[in-house]
Structure 1
């Protein structure tokens, strides 16, 4: 099953036009799936070519947590419980038990605003760069990179309170927008076969080389520099947004099926249970790619967005298993632990 993605190219070489037509059909299906996923292909004047636009994703269910069980808190503060020996029948005289401090605390719901930035990207590519080493020497390294754009389109979600009977009742969600947001990226490439992960690295010598190759006319920021950039509110399709570059080094040359996880686009999160030891997961954008190639002449390989479609049932099941999805997906939003 190794290097299954490469078989499309092999079929075209061996079988000629019929295989080429089959490959074209597969690509058209992938394009159709992209349209169904809400993906937009967009021309931009700040970088020649087309960028793939992933719209923001914010859900009303992400604006609250609770009610809270408070198990550890109650165990740590037994003095807050009612002492049944001090009350007739073990209950308060005038208030129901639901009005005790502990019972009211169990009904607490934590609410928050949720935002999500729009993420657009150019193809995932490779380039050779001279990387400085200790002692003033340099080494020629193969760098994987992605040029991207982030924009803030507003429409954040916020719990709205209506006062009923003197009490605030949160029964609806409203939209709110601000002048700007910030982006704190953390990008990880994952080999879906071996499980190896590669965290975005700062490679100062690579940025000018990449900017020249991609002909970026807007300022280009690495993953630290972009922290300081305010992403202004915009609903204009021609807005430049903020442009950045992600870079990776020492990626395995035999990688075939991979995903890019980008966190920082939204503040949504999930937590199992309560307390500092409870698993905490951030909401991330998962972009899926496949690379029909091998370890030789890697820069000539095209890294394709999406998952490779196969008519063979066994190979199709293999692909779904490696990407941990139930159907072919170009991208999805997932909650994932940060390692």
Structure 2
């Protein structure tokens, strides 16, 4: 690792050239957001163990970890390899940007023809402000100070547009999407005509070709294609703006004496995170400019929307789901979903249907269904039972019987005990590896009526959320009006006041689902107005939160 770090720090940068002059058009005040370089002193002087020694040589067969009898303990090779200092020359570009926009252009398609597409783009400017390094104070060798230096920089841009926004009911609280910056020449021409025909804009490939001299400014454009048009909240991660890095041991790695130095480590480059949101489109959406958001905005809006959805359920369906749970003898904790699953679970609905099936009095069953789901829900369950047991065409009956057979059911059994059978079908669907497989099974069992299961599943989760809120004295009626932001702020104090960490996590899972604790932590970690962040992201951490 030491060899790797030393090689980076000692890279022979060419001599600096004079600042380029250009007649840039002045943009209107407030249009350009300028983010100064990250000048954290922690980037210049990093500390860490030489794991190839402290772990690779301390055990058998070398066994170099020993305790000297006549010398200090920290004089051995293993001990001297601990907490080593790695001084590096660090540079970081100043980054300025305009809010992202959309534009419709003709782009080459797979059939060698041009296709009209809407692309997203970000106009930005980078400026080389020089670098900094940590040096030993000449007057006091025990002290360090930071000095600046001039150096050209080769900017290798890497822009990723990411979103964790759920775009359908089945995706629940979070669905990761990511789009890489693309080079689209036809888009560059159109963007230049719109933004400033006199200004040279570099795409990501052109930006790499020539170093940026000290003091030089350069304009660029990042372009994304095929972005899901339903996305409202997203982040852009810009890498290559600095050579600042972090490293750590790979999870589960076992360092052996003969390993290549650094092969058991993973390195993360520092990235700049920018947050944005897209206001409701009015008129020509392609001409619309996105707004600068702030860290935690997506999470607050998402959680607030979930609160509004749950508190609005009784009025929309003319039901009382929290009271229905109590009459069934269920607690909201009985409807929690598994944490870390592959997607939204239907276990809450399965639990509710199983409980209803266990009631002997048909009149009580019917009353509880209406109280839980409303008249619409009762009709939905009747249509599902009819689709799984009633007369259908020959091809659908063949598909239906084959699917039900895998669950130990037949249409005749469904007709005899509909609630118990529906609960078993829901459980089988929930065991499917993905949403597409679940939908395919629903179609085989129910045909077009199968889509109503997702709606019923949402009702069971709304009941759980309402009961969980009432358990900590949140009045659902007090948060049923307003927007997502106000709804989140209405429930936030009561949840934050829970002193027991385990209880708070459980309530968050009850109100918001299995990812509720992570989203809530992200929502309250920062304050409004923080529109960017410098972050280190390791590949093994996975996407999103």
How is 1:39-118 mapped onto 2 (pairs within 5 angstroms)?
Answer: 45-46=24-25, 48-49=27-28, 50-68=31-49, 70=51, 71-75=54-58, 78-79=61-62, 81=64, 91-93=68-70, 95-118=71-94
| Cα distance in 1, alignment partners of residues 284 and 522 from structure 2 | 25
| Cα distance in 1, alignment partners of residues 218 and 292 from structure 2 | 22
2:133 is matched with which residue? Answer: 158
| Cα distance in 2, alignment partners of residues 221 and 214 from structure 1 | 13
Q: C-alpha offsets along residues 157-189 of structure 1, whole Å, 9 cap, x if unaligned? A: 21202479xxx9563132222242121111111
The answer as to whether partners of 1:286 and 1:332 remain within 8 angstroms in 2 is yes
More helix by share: 2
Q: 1:77 to 1:243 in 2, by over 3 A?
A: farther
1:196 and 2:183 correspond:
no
How is 1:286-301 mapped onto 2 (pairs within 5 angstroms)?
Answer: 286-293=273-280, 297-301=284-288
Picking from 194, 199, 204, the partner of 1:223 is 204
Q: Give 1:313 shift.
A: 4.7
The answer as to whether partners of 2:293 and 2:531 remain within 8 angstroms in 1 is yes
Q: 1:104 to 1:333 in 2, by over 3 A?
A: same
Q: 1:245 to 1:302 in 2, by over 3 A?
A: closer
1:198 alignment partner, SS class: strand
Q: Give 1:139 shift.
A: 0.5
Q: C-alpha offsets along residues 208-241 of structure 1, whole Å, 9 cap, x if unaligned? A: 111111114232211111012222222xxxx6x1
Normalising by structure 2, we get a TM-score of 0.46
> Which shifted more, 243-252 or 169-178?
169-178
2:192 alignment partner, SS class: helix
The gaps in structure 2 that reach 5 residues or longer are 1-22, 166-174, 251-261, 302-483, 493-515
Q: C-alpha offsets along residues 292-311 of structure 1, whole Å, 9 cap, x if unaligned? A: 12599531433111246976
2:448 is matched with which residue? Answer: none
- Max radius of gyration: which structure? 2
| Cα distance in 1, alignment partners of residues 116 and 38 from structure 2 | 39
Looking at both structures, which has the greater relative contact order when contacts are Cα pairs under 8 Å and sequence separation is at least 6? 1
The answer as to whether partners of 2:137 and 2:145 remain within 8 angstroms in 1 is no
How is 1:207-218 mapped onto 2 (pairs within 5 angstroms)?
Answer: 207-218=188-199
How is 1:151-190 mapped onto 2 (pairs within 5 angstroms)?
Answer: 151-154=127-130, 156-162=131-137, 169=141, 171-190=143-162
Q: Give 1:76 shift.
A: 7.0
